[in-house]
Structure 1
Amino acid sequence: MTKNVRVRFAPSPTGPLHIGGVRTALFNYLFAKKHHGTFVLRIEDTDQNRYVEGAEKYIVDALNWCGMPYDEGPTSTALSTDSKNETFGPYRQSERKHLYKQYADELIASGNAYYAFDTAETLDFHRKDHEAKGKTFIYNWHNRLKLSNSLSLSAEEVKAKLNAGDAYVIRFKSPQDETLHLIDSIRGDIKIDTNILDDKVLFKSDGMPTYHLANIVDDHLMEITHVIRGEEWLPSLALHYQLYKAFGWDAPEFAHLPLILKPTGKGKLSKRDGDKLGFPVFPLEWKDPKSNDISRGYKEDGYFPEAMVNFLAFLGWNPGTEQEIFNLDELIEAFDLSRVNKSGARFDPDKIKWFNHYYMQTQNDDVLAELFKPIVDEKLNATSSTSTSLSTGSVERSHQDEISPSSRNDIALVVGLIKERATFISDFWNLSHFFFIAPKAYDEKASKKAFKEGTKELMLELVSIINTVEDFSVENLQTKIKGWITDNDIGFGKVMMPLRLALVGALQGPDVFDIMYMIGKKESIKRIEAAIASL
């Protein structure tokens, strides 16, 4: 690839960025970076009636959270007219509307477009008339000479209507009896019969272009080399190719990505599917400025951006190998449009959880501890118990100087013991609450299994053994307690099960010696004695 690759992600600020839009942005980003090109963000806000306050900032924040910052585009403040690269700016179509009229006029002058003065009532009449006859009304070569436009009217009549300020649109003049040969990088050669195409509206008398004209003009002026977009734009490909031809411009290479399907595999994924099945369809939480309704986001639900990116990359693309875990740099290296599928990709909410669990294990414990600490504080503040075992700072232990400084954050140590079983930060409390709060009750089934005849005496003897451990480390605890069990020919289950139950309140959790070390000697003995008294 010899030309300087330039791709664009061009969302409309009509609400939060759907997960399908994030996937489109990701594939554009990967392609640009693979070819040392430029990733452009363009805000397509020509439809001001659907503009939603805060949507543009949401789009920028979502891209940044996913680790895909754009190279060129508007600043993150929608009120600002600054751009990250003024060579091709501005990057909001509403700020470029002065550009489009001249190109619409150029198409009229070349005979590739025409003025149409038909009223909404007239068009509605024709549609209903065709429906009554079992036909579909298409505004094109078949009937345009019977309608009110600059092809059917005289030049004087057209001039008079324009001078009078009559409402009009400018329509593209689709050719008759031609076959278009189009090329899509994913779908290959496509043939289109021009007789089935309608004469799309390109420009309105209010001075605003439609998506089709603005899109083509902007892509040309911004020197976009590859248009990578969703499958829903495939029906527009014929018109866009014809517009490039009409202007005498070289068309970019097109690639239309497959749809993201519902978890059932039938139909396009929607917000309703997420609401129904209990998963987000937006990268970040979104609060509707009009209704104040809040839609869940993957970030707020506890997903890591790395997990989302890795997951989305496999929705419609595969590397051709068995490898599933890719960081962003590896995705950039492996990405190839030739390996993007034509068929839709089923959204699997369990699979993204699988990715999140994996990336949980790769996170630094100190980073996870910072995320977990507010939950710990909230839980501890909510309980009136005085049996807190670990503070959110550090605890007193014997020979504290033997713990390395980097390990003194108790929450980080706890996280390191439990994250293997966690998928989300929100899982941490249920997996670790016993580190911070002593058991208030004991699992009934586990109690019957662990505390039997002779258990009380064994536990009292165990307390004596624990008291002899001066350097209260995991290694010393293991040596002392396991040695005592082995020397006295006691079954390990007879000691370890009631010990775990006493420390945790159930037969769960990480290694008991890790738990004892973390809560300290005094608290360990206190919990064993409390279990003896209770059970």
Structure 2
Amino acid sequence: MAQKVRTRMAPSPTGEYHVGHIATLLKNYAWAKHNGGDFILRIEDTDQVRKVDGAVEKILSVIKGYGLDWDEGPEKGGPYGPYVQSERLEIYKEAAQLLLDNDKAYYCFATAEELTELRDKQRAEKLPPKYDGRYRDYPKEEALKRVAAGEPYVIRLKVPKDVTVTFTDLLRGDISVESSNVDDQVLMKSDGFPTYHLAVIVDDHAMGITHVLRGEEWISSTPKHVLIYKAFGWEPPIYAHIPVFLNPDGKGKMSKRKGTVSAQSFLDAGYLPEALLNFFMILGWAHPEQKEILSLDEYIKYFDPKDISSKSVVFDVNKLQWINGVYIRNLTDAELLNRLKPFIPADCSLDQAEAILPLIKERLVTLSDFEPQTAFFYRAINIDKEILTKRSTPEIVQGQLDDTSKALNDLEIWSEEKIEESVRALQQEKDWKTKQYFMMLRYAVSGSAATPPLFSMISVLGKKLVLERLSAARAIL
């Protein structure tokens, strides 16, 4: 029987969770579900120096905020727990001891000063910085005496000499590296914590991980990982290294210097989680029918990591905005109103928002557009005399405002239809220039040249407020 597919994502609580992390998590999740397997979440907090308080909770929250979940991990448990590395220290110590006992690793007592001196010397000689193996063949009995005496040490992997390390990447095929180019990697640090390289192999093996889908920046570390697997006598998982996102301008890896990269910040900016996931789906991967709008279930059905492009892709914000707009317009008004609640300002009532929403739904790109597109409905406006009288004269505009106020005040039924009928009849009767008059009226009641449809807007603003604003506009002439 085929082995059950198990994938994982293993975030480190060292800061904000990147959109690239969510995109990679999505791929791991989808591949597990495509195969009827399990997706595991593991917290890799062995870097205690960079660990940020509260970061774990934020990571779990943002993953849920994107509508994703995990089968095993924090808050859920599972048969291979604990799922937090700092709670698995004894497991790593036992693993490191196993390598020591089998002469696959060794104690190293080189001080930080010695290693700095070594690197400086190598740089001066234009050599790549690399540990020189000075304790590789140190007598084991002597090493154990120094350990017993309390001398600080690390444990390093004894990388085999003169062997070719080969692994298969689903995107790139076979990749080979000579072991002479692989450092004797530190496995256990002097503080008793494992390095990432030891912990990730021990955990992936213990948790039955079959596929590792991760960023391409890990390609250079994979030979080390394969060697650690071989040192234990374990079978490595299948690897797929996913290209990084490029900045929206196409220049360089997406970074904070060129704008936000925080996964939470995109939700805070009013992008719908399902639109973001859809965007991540099609970055570097194509649906068999070249569809650009697809659900998570459809993605799971068709996704295969071997179909991911090996080329880096631009994080195209325009494409993301288009996709988000499609998802917004596919919501019912009631669904959209519910999604908008965190973005509706305090001075706009829910009833007002409900009335305004149909007027702006087609214009929304993100949920955060609601306030700037609707503020004139519920906040005071400022009118500029020059804009108000553009393409006309103060005298003509004054007459237009007076006549429009009277016509609207005389309406017994305040509806979009009756407003349009009255205002158009007035314009035709007075023979006012169509473009000038309607632009002036739009500006007088909204303080803006770009608004929802004029008569819908006037209807929603209400008779009292419209008449007040026409009067205020007249007063500045």
Under TM normalisation by the shorter chain, which class is it? 0.7 to 0.9
State the AA in 2 paired with 1:298. F
Alpha carbons of 1:162 and 1:505: their partners in 2 closer, same or farther (altered >3 Å)? closer
Counterpart residue type for residue 119 of structure 1: T
| Distance in structure 2 (CA, Å) of the matches to 1:437 and 1:19 | 35
Equivalent runs, 1:421-440 vs 2, <5 Å:
421-437=363-379, 439-440=381-382
Aligned equivalent of 1:160: 145
AA in 2 matched with 1:98:
E
Q: Which residue identity is paired with 2:48?
A: Q
1:347 and 2:315 aligned? yes
Distance 2:436 2:254 in 1: 53
Determine helix, strand or coil for the equivalent of 2:345. Answer: helix
Q: Which consecutive residues of structure 2, in runs of 5 or more, have no partner in the other structure?
A: none
2:102 is matched with 110
Match of 2:390 in 1: 448
Cα deviation for residue 483 of structure 1 reads 5.3
The aligned amino acid for 1:281 is V
SS in structure 2 at match of 1:516: helix
Deviates more, 1:304-313 or 1:232-241: 304-313
Letter in 1 for 2:269: D
Aligned to 1:294: none
The residue aligned with 1:387 is none
TM-score normalised by the chain length of structure 1: 0.79
- TM-score, normalisation: structure 2: 0.88
Match of 1:415 among 343, 352, 357: 357
The alignment-based identity, stated in percent, is 40
Q: Choose which of 90, 101, 113 in structure 2 pairs with 1:98.
A: 90
The CA deviation string for residues 304-349 of structure 1, in whole angstroms up to 9 with x for no partner, is: 3233323333443333554333343333334221221222222344
Name the counterpart of 1:319: 287
CA shift in 2, pair 1:239/1:486, >3 Å = same
Q: Say if 2:43 is the partner of 1:85.
A: no
Q: 2:56 corresponds to which residue?
A: 56
Measured in 2, the distance between the counterparts of 1:121 and 1:371 equals 54
Matched, 1:196 2:164: no
How far off its partner does 1:240 sit? 1.5
| SS of residue in 2 equivalent to 1:228 | strand
Alpha-carbon separation, structure 2, partners of 1:103 and 1:70: 27
Aligned AA (2:220): P
- Taking the aligned partners of 1:184 and 1:499, their CA distance within structure 2 comes to 64
Shift of 1:467: 4.7
Change (3 A) 1:128 1:489: closer
SS state at 1:299 partner = helix
Q: Which amino acid counterpart does residue 145 of structure 2 have in structure 1?
A: A
CA drift at 1:241: 1.6
Q: Residue 508 of structure 1 corresponds to which residue in structure 2?
A: 450
Count of aligned pairs between the two proteins: 474
> Which has the higher mean CA deviation after the structures are superposed, 440-449 or 8-17?
440-449
Deviations 1:456-490 (A, max 9, x none): 55655545544554332222333444456568877
1:282 maps to which of 243, 252, 262: 262
Deviations 1:79-104 (A, max 9, x none): xxxxx123111011110011122222
CA RMSD in angstroms, aligned pairs only: 3.0
Could you say if the C-alpha distance between residues 237 and 416 of structure 1 is closer, same or farther in structure 2, counting changes exceeding 3 Å?
A: same
Corresponding position of 1:14: 14
d(CA) in 2 for partners of 1:519 and 1:447? 22
Cα gap change, 1:334 to 1:375, in 2 (>3 Å):
farther
Q: Which residue, 135, 142, 148 being the options, matches 1:148?
A: 135
Letter in 1 for 2:342: L
SS of residue paired to 1:11? coil
**1:6·1:37 contact (CA, 8 Å) conserved in 2?**
yes
Aligned pair partner of 1:221 in 189, 206, 209: 206
Closer/same/farther in 2, CA of residues 452 and 331 from structure 1, 3 Å limit: farther
Change (3 A) 1:113 1:507: closer
Within-5 A mapping of 1:360-371: 360-363=328-331, 364-367=335-338, 370-371=341-342
Q: How has the CA–CA distance of structure 1 residues 474 and 180 changed in structure 2, closer, same or farther, with 3 Å as cutoff?
A: same
Amino acid at match of 2:292: E
Assess, with a 3 A threshold, how the Cα gap between structure 1 residues 333 and 156 changes in structure 2: closer, same or farther. Answer: closer
Could you tell me how far 1:43 is from its partner in structure 2?
Answer: 0.9
CA contact (8 A) 1:302 1:426 kept: yes
Contact in 1 for aligned 2:212/2:239 (Cα 8 Å): yes
Contact 1:173/1:199, CA 8 A, preserved across alignment: yes
Mapped pair 1:171 → 2:113: no
Amino acid at match of 1:518: V
1:522 to 1:94, Cα distance in 2 relative to 1, 3 A: closer
Q: Secondary structure at the match of 1:448?
A: coil
Q: Which moved more, 1:300-309 or 1:96-105?
A: 300-309
Q: Give the equivalent residue in structure 2 for 1:277.
A: none
1:184 positional shift: 0.8
- Residue in 2 aligned with 1:470? 412
How far is 1:455 from its partner? Answer: 5.7
Question: What is the distance in 2 between the residues matched to 1:24 and 1:228?
Answer: 7
In the alignment, what sits opposite 1:381?
Answer: none
Q: How does 1:251-266 map to 2 (within 5 A)?
A: 251-266=236-251
Instruction: Judge which range, 128-137 or 411-420, deviates more.
Output: 128-137
Q: Contact 1:182 / 1:191 at 8 angstroms: preserved in 2?
A: yes
Higher relative contact order (CA 8 A, sep 6+): 2
